[in-house]
């Protein structure tokens, strides 16, 4: 017994191409599951008590000495405070380099207007939380497969996540978590189609893993 009330995991579907937010208390677990496989999920974690304090890929790279986190790693904020610990990861390779796709990405690079995008999904999901005109932070792109060569060349490759793959993390502070099931269907990042993700939260790792058995 942890002393916490256990009421079972909370499960929230993120429809393909859309974003959702959820509250995660300090010490709780949060998982993101790639239901059908090959679906990138832009993931943000923001301190519940200060919207200017959030998970930061670049501060995490310096903390880890790596641009790819692994199981057991602590992710840190833009103030270098631990914000999440990676508890389990069925994939083991995600992206932290690529910013959220936005309307400019579709218009300038693909000539497509009015496309759904992770930037606006973030703002929609945060719409009730007074985000204001702050820039959208750099996301942690779950189930996204990028590679950097020694000369700095960056490749966005086909996703490698399989149906049911999950990344499970523990919150080191109370958080707002936002996940966007990335609507990008114009380059390899989206794999074979845009599909749903699932966010799971719970008080224990077992609670979450049991809920999806």
Q: Give least dist CB 69 to its own copies, A.
A: 9
Closer residue to its own copies in complex, CB, 33/105: 105
Closer residue to its own copies in complex, CB, 187/192: 187
Q: Give least dist CB 91 to its own copies, A.
A: 14
Neighbouring C-alpha atoms within 13 Å toward the C-beta of 152: 0
Closer residue to its own copies in complex, CB, 68/204: 68
Q: Give least dist CB 44 to its own copies, A.
A: 14
Closer residue to its own copies in complex, CB, 49/151: 151
Q: How many CB atoms lie under 10 A from the CB of residue 35? A: 18
Q: Give least dist CB 202 to its own copies, A.
A: 29
Q: Kindly give the pairing relationship between strand 19-24 and strand 175-181.
A: antiparallel
Question: How far apart, in whole angstroms, are the C-alpha atoms of residue 80 and residue 118?
Answer: 25
Burial 52-89 (b: 16+ CB within 10 A, else e): ebbbbbebbbebbeeebbeeebbbbbbeeeebbbbbeb
* Locus of tokens 């609670």: 207
Q: Give least dist CB 209 to its own copies, A.
A: 27
Instruction: Write out the H or E segment, with its range, that includes residue 121.
Output: helix 118-125
Closer residue to its own copies in complex, CB, 4/134: 134
For residues 169 and 31, is the Cβ–Cβ distance under 8 A?
Answer: yes
Closer residue to its own copies in complex, CB, 178/199: 178
Question: Which residues contact its own copies (rule: CB under 8 A)?
Answer: 52, 56-59, 61-62, 65-68, 78-81, 97-99, 102, 104-105, 108, 133-135, 138, 147-155
Q: Give least dist CB 195 to its own copies, A.
A: 23
End-to-end CA distance of the chain: 21
What's the chain's length in residues?
Answer: 213
């Amino acid at each position: 017994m942890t002393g916490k009330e256990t009421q079972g995991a909370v499960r929230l579907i993120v429809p393909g191409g859309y974003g959702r937010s959820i509250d995660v208390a300090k010490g709780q677990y949060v998982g993101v599951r790639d239901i059908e496989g090959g679906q990138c999920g832009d993931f943000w974690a923001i301190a519940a008590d200060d919207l200017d304090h959030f998970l930061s890929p670049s501060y995490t790279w310096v903390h880890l000495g790596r641009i790819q986190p692994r199981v057991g790693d602590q992710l840190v904020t833009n103030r270098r405070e631990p914000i999440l610990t990676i508890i389990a990861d069925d994939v083991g390779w995600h992206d932290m380099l690529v910013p959220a796709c936005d309307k400019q990405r579709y218009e300038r690079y693909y000539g497509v207007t009015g496309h759904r995008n992770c930037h606006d999904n973030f703002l929609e999901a945060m719409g009730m939380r007074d985000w204001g005109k702050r820039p959208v932070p750099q996301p942690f792109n779950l189930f996204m497969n990028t590679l950097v060569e020694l000369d700095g060349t960056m490749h966005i490759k086909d996703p490698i996540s399989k149906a049911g793959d999950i990344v499970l993390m523990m919150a080191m502070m109370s958080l707002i978590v936002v996940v966007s099931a990335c609507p990008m269907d114009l380059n390899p990042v989206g794999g074979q189609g845009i599909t749903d993700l699932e966010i799971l939260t719970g008080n224990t790792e077992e609670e979450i893993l049991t809920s999806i058995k």
